[in-house]
Chain A
Amino acid sequence: MFYLGLMWEYFKNYAKSRMTYRADFWIEVVSDLTYQAMNLAVILIAFRHTPALGGWSEAEIVFVFGFFMVPYGIFSCFFDLWNFGERYIVKGEMDRVLTRPAHNLFQVMLENMYPPGLIGSFVGIAIMAVTARQMEMAFGWTDLVMLAVLTAGAVLVYFGLYTAITAIAFFTDAPTGILPLMYNLQSYGRYPVTIYNRTMRFVLTWLLPFAFVGVYPASFFLERSGPGDLRMALLTPVVGMVFTAIGLTVWNIGVKRYRGAGS
């Protein structure tokens, strides 16, 4: 409850500081929208040219992609920490965060909140709705509840993984190339894993479980799914919690090693 209140306060401050630069604000709104529209265009074009992939129909693939966009949007809204090492470790802004009575990771996340990221989630929901109608999928109350649960699980997967990776900044003083690498890898999760070879599938399922933010949970809703797919879908929240636990542990160990900037 306390943290929900804080989230709202930080959001208000985000909005206010955005609006102090009026011209900037509108330019950013336009550029955010353009960016999201471009993304969508790329997807649509890509799928036009691959009507079916490894036994998946176009509608199914687009549906998976739509699902993927929901947790990814939420994640990119609250976890815009690409410059964490530079800003908080090298410049020592972590000092200030650590002298305030709220969890430090939570504070850092809220300070870097990027609400336009959520646009992607809404687009994702729209894509799912359209493709679901194409496939004449039945959508009931349980599906809505499951959508929420699976989305939460997928967000946790993202959150855990990127928390752990961001925390690397506590252990090394030099920036590492691991973040861009991960960024590239995560995009593989939005396609059906069955199209990859075994090694890749294993990596995307158990090591860097990006398949759990896209194809596995999305398959819960697809007609084609067998019991094996359902099992993987229901595993999403579990994997999410496991990886969140790992991420937070690495983070907390990192904070203890934090050494501040300067002397």
Chain B
Amino acid sequence: MFVMQPAIEVRDLRKTFKVQRNREGLAGAIRDLFRRQYVEVTAVKDISFTIPRGEICGYIGENGAGKSTTIKMLAGILVPTSGTVRVAGYVPWREREKFVRHIGVVFGQRSQLWWDIGVIESFHLLRKVYRVPAADFRRRLDELVERLKLGDLLHRPVRKLSLGQRMRCELAASLLHNPAILFLDEPTIGLDIVVKTEIREFLLQLNREHGTTILLTTHDLQDIEALCSRVIMLDDGRIIYDGGLDELKARWSRGREIRLQFGEPVGLERLERLTADLPGVRWQLGEGMSAVMRVPREVGMSEALARVVGSGVDIRDIKFAETSTDEIVREIYRSGSAAGAERLVGVT
């Protein structure tokens, strides 16, 4: 039987950098001249994960958590200190030139296009570099031009493009050779919401129609919500969460909230009495005759709301809110691990 190989397989991956430490002051600088001090910094600490083909996986973490280092090892740019990596069946750094034909890479901060010449010229050069047959290239280019709306941009020099236009061209450039795996490092950084949405839709379509496996790092959690079925969260070089986005939300969300604005002063006791028979519902008084009711998933929203509305309290305004992924992730970062976050959220 044909067994599908995973797109990305990482075992005990570690990367250590030797960083030069500069001593303070002029005397220190002179001493550095003769004997340099080095500090070993481990950017990625023995991480393991597997990404099956066709998955869109979000790789998140704060600055310096080791995201870029991991992606660069997966793309064959950096050689790991220890551990094993297999991407598309290759050991990336060892068989680099053969391997990179199967991947596409976009680093949001850096351009892969020639600055002074028309976008299409860069595309033609990339076609030669990747040895894409002319017919395949034509078909692929037409598709990308239509999907990413590049029609007007192709003949403009890259330096005259806006960031959003450039980003669309970068994406197209990385996909001309129809790679099985796409690495995106901060693909939506600095873009306006319209372009962000366009790019997300494009990536979803790409994944659906070509089965392209996508691994992306981002600081924008809306990217994750829009695209990813799976999230890997990194902190200080270690994986602190690896699983579905829904699961992350379900487990660490504080649940849903109903924010109420009253027309009269209402005491906490009175509110708590109203929902006493609903397990897990909690109240918190806000400023100026307002209150927040936290409703756990087991309790129906309508039921919870009915208790308050039916009690004769003068209600002026009702707002519904759900803990956003942003808040959850911020909470997890703050506590340092996903397990810790659970405890922390449980208390509030």
Q: Determine whether the beta carbon of B114 is less than 8 Å from that of A260.
A: no
Q: Determine whether the beta carbon of B101 is less than 8 Å from that of A101.
A: yes
Within residues 246 to 272 of chain B, which ones have a CB less than 8 A from any CB in chain A? Answer: none
Q: How far apart are the CA atoms of A39 and B77 in the complex, in Å?
A: 41
Q: Determine whether the beta carbon of A263 is less than 8 Å from that of B121.
A: no
Q: Determine whether the beta carbon of B20 is less than 8 Å from that of A173.
A: yes
Please give the number of chain A residues whose Cβ is less than 8 angstroms from any Cβ of chain B in the complex.
Answer: 31
Q: Determine whether the beta carbon of B124 is less than 8 Å from that of A9.
A: yes
Q: Determine whether the beta carbon of B114 is less than 8 Å from that of A100.
A: no
| Chain B residues, CB < 8 A from A16 | 116-118, 121
Q: Determine whether the beta carbon of A13 is less than 8 Å from that of B117.
A: yes
| Chain A residues, CB < 8 A from B117 | 13, 16-17, 20
Q: Name the contact of B97 in the complex, choosing from A5, A12, A21, A103 (C-beta under 8 A).
A: A103
| Chain B residues, CB < 8 A from A95 | 72, 77, 107, 110
A1 to chain B, nearest CB (A): 11
Q: How far apart are the CA atoms of A5 and B76 in the complex, in Å?
A: 25
Q: How far apart are the CA atoms of A102 and B99 in the complex, in Å?
A: 11
Which 8 residue pairs spanning A and B have beta carbons closest together?
A17-B116, A99-B105, A98-B77, A101-B101, A9-B128, A16-B117, A17-B117, A101-B97
Q: How far apart are the CA atoms of A145 and B271 in the complex, in Å?
A: 100
Q: How far apart are the CA atoms of A161 and B77 in the complex, in Å?
A: 25
B270 to chain A, nearest CB (A): 53
Within residues 91 to 144 of chain B, which ones have a CB less than 8 A from any CB in chain A? Answer: 93, 96-98, 100-101, 103, 105, 107, 110, 112, 114-118, 121-122, 124-125, 128-131
Say yes or no: is A262 at the interface (Cβ < 8 Å to chain B).
Answer: yes
B33 to chain A, nearest CB (A): 11
B328 to chain A, nearest CB (A): 24
Mask for A71-89, Cβ within 8 A of B = 1, else 0?
A: 0000000000000000000
Q: How far apart are the CA atoms of A25 and B114 in the complex, in Å?
A: 17
Q: Determine whether the beta carbon of A17 is less than 8 Å from that of B114.
A: yes
| Chain A residues, CB < 8 A from B130 | 100-101
Asked, given contacts A13-B125, A95-B77, whether A2 binds B110 with beta carbons under 8 Å apart, the answer is no
Closest B residue to A263 by beta carbon equals: B64
Say yes or no: is B43 at the interface (Cβ < 8 Å to chain A).
Answer: yes
* 16 A-B contacts (beta carbon < 8 Å): A2-B131, A10-B125, A13-B121, A16-B117, A92-B110, A95-B77, A96-B105, A96-B110, A98-B76, A99-B75, A99-B100, A99-B103, A102-B97, A258-B77, A260-B77, A263-B63
Known: A21-B116, A99-B105. 11 other contacts (CB 8 A): A9-B125, A17-B117, A96-B107, A99-B100, A101-B100, A101-B130, A173-B20, A259-B78, A263-B43, A263-B64, A263-B69
Q: Name the contact of A101 in the complex, choosing from B107, B116, B129 (C-beta under 8 A).
A: B129
Say yes or no: is B325 at the interface (Cβ < 8 Å to chain A).
Answer: no
| Chain B residues, CB < 8 A from A17 | 114-117
Closest B residue to A100 by beta carbon equals: B129
Q: Determine whether the beta carbon of B114 is less than 8 Å from that of A20.
A: no
What's the count of A-B pairs with C-beta under 8 Å? 82
Q: Determine whether the beta carbon of A256 is less than 8 Å from that of B93.
A: yes
| Chain A residues, CB < 8 A from B112 | 96
A94 to chain B, nearest CB (A): 8
| Chain A residues, CB < 8 A from B79 | 256-257
Say yes or no: is A93 at the interface (Cβ < 8 Å to chain B).
Answer: yes
| Chain B residues, CB < 8 A from A107 | 129
| Chain A residues, CB < 8 A from B157 | 20
Asked, given contacts A9-B124, A13-B125, A17-B114, whether A100 binds B69 with beta carbons under 8 Å apart, the answer is no
A95 to chain B, nearest CB (A): 5
Say yes or no: is A182 at the interface (Cβ < 8 Å to chain B).
Answer: no
Q: How far apart are the CA atoms of A164 and B129 in the complex, in Å?
A: 25
Say yes or no: is A6 at the interface (Cβ < 8 Å to chain B).
Answer: yes
Q: Interface centre among A9, A10, A257, by most B CB within 10 Å? A: A9
| Chain A residues, CB < 8 A from B101 | 101
Say yes or no: is B42 at the interface (Cβ < 8 Å to chain A).
Answer: no
| Chain B residues, CB < 8 A from A92 | 110
Asked, given contacts A16-B117, A101-B98, whether A260 binds B125 with beta carbons under 8 Å apart, the answer is no
| Chain A residues, CB < 8 A from B69 | 260, 263
Mask for B27-65, Cβ within 8 A of A = 1, else 0?
A: 000000000000000010000000000000000000110
B288 to chain A, nearest CB (A): 45
Within residues 81 to 124 of chain A, which ones have a CB less than 8 A from any CB in chain B? Answer: 92-96, 98-103, 107
Within residues 179 to 220 of chain B, which ones have a CB less than 8 A from any CB in chain A? Answer: none
Q: How far apart are the CA atoms of A94 and B128 in the complex, in Å?
A: 19
Say yes or no: is B320 at the interface (Cβ < 8 Å to chain A).
Answer: no
A136 to chain B, nearest CB (A): 48
Say yes or no: is B68 at the interface (Cβ < 8 Å to chain A).
Answer: yes
| Chain B residues, CB < 8 A from A100 | 100, 129-130
Q: Determine whether the beta carbon of B78 is less than 8 Å from that of A260.
A: yes
Mask for B12-23, Cβ within 8 A of A = 1, else 0?
A: 000001001000
Q: Determine whether the beta carbon of B78 is less than 8 Å from that of A5.
A: no
B235 to chain A, nearest CB (A): 14
| Chain B residues, CB < 8 A from A98 | 75-77, 96, 100
Closest A residue to B101 by beta carbon equals: A101
| Chain A residues, CB < 8 A from B93 | 256
Q: How far apart are the CA atoms of A258 and B17 in the complex, in Å?
A: 10
